[in-house]
Structure 1
Amino acid sequence: MEKTYLDEFKIAEEFLQVSKNSLNLSLRTSANRLYFAFEKAVISYLLFNQKKVPKNHQKIWELCAEVLGENYYNHLRNLYDLRMQADYGNVSLFVEFNKKIVEKNIFLSEKLIKKIKERLG
Structure 2
Amino acid sequence: MPAGLEVKNSPTGAGRGVFATRAFKKGEEIERCPMLVADEDRGDDLESGAEGYVFGWGDGRTALALGYGSLYNHRYDPNATTTETGDELVITATRKIAVGDEIYINYMGTAQTGVWFDVL
- Identify which of structures 1 and 2 has the higher relative contact order when contacts are C-alpha pairs closer than 8 Å and 6+ apart: 2
Calculate the TM-score normalised by the size of structure 1: 0.25
Taking structure 2 as the reference length, the TM-score comes to 0.25
